[in-house]
Structure 1
Amino acid sequence: MANPSSIIEDGIEYSLGNFDGTKIVYDFPKILVFLEAKGKILFGQHFKIYEEDKNVLFKLCNYYIKDQNYCEKFEMDPEKGILLSGPVGCGKTSMMKLLRYLVPHQRNYVVMPCRNIVFAFNHLGYKTIEDYGDSSNFCFDDMGVEPIGRHYGRDCNVIGEILLSRYELFLQTNLKTHATTNLSAYELEDLYGLRVRSRMKNMFNLVAFDEKIKDKRK
């Protein structure tokens, strides 16, 4: 019988904690060992978890494993999605791609660049909004820096419209939406409008990197 407190990658078993027969008692240092190993598989041997990232990662890990005590401490609602914000190059996208593997039994999500969604809209039109506004699980990457969509001469704030559609599903079915962004809450409001911004507050837990964190791509 498989041990529910461990994950096997490339033939190596990584313990994430201890299973007491009813629940997993997670161990954060062990989780970090697994995430760094998985990160090297996904992104290459240069990947590493930096000391400066561990506070953000600790919050996110407790969200993903739905640790009730820590979620309450960090004022996070496990029924909402994650909006991960931070400066360019801090590792937001990699972190959201990586954390999917921490709880493989949970429903996964696709990480999709917002600019790609807008390009699809420019080609296919409003069907794109229907496709991404449906009940599939997505993490919208680099939200807020995508161009305005244009189809047959008509402009459309594509991501804003998708968020409105997904908000209705969130109310009806608790559908989660995740996203990453380089922008502040005020900048997002300027871009998408007050109506979308108010719904985002209900849809997302905001988790933010320190603004002074270094660009890991340099």
Structure 2
Amino acid sequence: MNHRTPHIIFEANKHYELGKLKGNQILYDFDKILEYLDAKGKLLFGDKFKIYIEDRNILYKLCNYQIRDYHTCKKLGVDLKKGILLSGPVGCGKTSLMKLIRYITPHYKAYEMIPTRNVTFAFNHIGYTTIQQYGDSRFYCFDDLGVEPTGRFFGKDCNVIGEVLLSRYELFVNHRIKTHGTTNLNAQELEERYGNRVRSRMRELFNLIGFDKGSRDKRK
């Protein structure tokens, strides 16, 4: 990737031009972004991967957020200051899309995908330093919020991800460091899992972007 042409991405001996340069601004073409995401998805996840037409509206929001198109995001009700919480039923493609959209902006710092169960397993092994670790200034997307097991360290239970989210909220308020996430749960289920205080902070941390309840399981 040439930093002077971040809209042109090379993959497997082919180049994808995601838009045009106008001065120091990139005018992105959404259809060309989708073409690239389809190709990149096949490289990452195998030849069976595809971009589904019914996901176009979700992708439009995610892509405009990722390229930081302020005016389009404002029309869509998406706040660029907040992170993304992508929700939807099991198998609808949440994790794959959050892994993918990082690649359309190689000139921006990418977030790291972290399965929530891994955070809990680390807590069970080394304790509260895990919460401090994920409450640092790095950029994360926590995958599968709400379905991780309860943490347990030296006989004491801990809602590990709930504590991590409270730490991430402090980072957001004080330093504008964003956090992303994916979840299969709805708002009420998240509140039952994490409590009212964490759910309240999540409203401030995240833009909620959701698949329809009837979205197909793409793993079948």
For 1:32, the aligned partner's letter is L
Give the share of equivalent positions with the same residue, in percent.
61
Aligned residues: 218
Could you tell me how far 1:133 is from its partner in structure 2? 1.1
Tell me the secondary structure at the aligned position of residue 92 of structure 2: coil
Match of 1:61, SS state, is helix
SS in 1 for 2:32: helix
AA at the equivalent of 1:102: I
SS of structure 1 residue aligned to 2:167 = helix
Structural RMSD (CA):
1.0
Name the counterpart of 2:146.
Answer: 144
Report the Cα offset of residue 22 of structure 1.
2.2
Indicate if the aligned counterparts of 1:4 and 1:19 stay in contact, CA closer than 8 A: no
1:11 alignment partner, one of 10, 13, 18 = 13
* Distance in 2 separating the partners of 1:197 and 1:3: 40
What is the match of residue 129 of structure 1?
131
- Aligned 8 A contact 1:170 1:176 in 2: yes
Q: Using the alignment, how far apart are the partners of 2:139 and 2:160 within structure 1?
A: 17
Write out per-residue CA displacement over residues 41-62 of structure 1, whole angstroms, 9 at most, x where no aligned residue.
1111111001111110011000
Once residues 82 and 3 of structure 1 are traced to their aligned partners in structure 2, the CA distance between those partners, rounded to angstroms, is 26
User: What is the DSSP-based 3-state SS (H/G/I as helix, E as strand, rest coil) of the residue aligned with 1:134?
Assistant: coil
Structural mapping, 1:159-170, within 5 Å: 159-170=161-172
Q: Which amino acid aligns with 2:102?
A: R
- The whole-number CA distance in structure 1 between the counterparts of 2:103 and 2:44 is 11
| Match among 175, 186, 189 for residue 188 of structure 2 | 186
Distance 1:155 1:53 in 2: 39
Deviations 1:114-154 (A, max 9, x none): 01110111111001111111111110000000111000100
CA distance in 1 between counterparts of 2:19 and 2:133 reads 38
TM-score, normalised by the number of residues in structure 2: 0.97
2:74 aligned residue = 72
Structure 1's consecutive aligned runs of 4 or more residues displaced over 4 angstroms after TM superposition are none
Change (3 A) 1:160 1:23: same
TM-score by length of structure 1 reads: 0.98
1:20 and 2:4 aligned: no
Q: Which letter maps to 2:8? A: S
Q: CA deviation at 1:5?
A: 2.3
Instruction: Give, in whole Å, the separation in 1 of the partners of 2:135 and 2:123.
Output: 12
Amino acid at match of 1:25: L
3-state SS of 1:111 partner: strand
Measured in 1, the distance between the counterparts of 2:51 and 2:21 equals 25
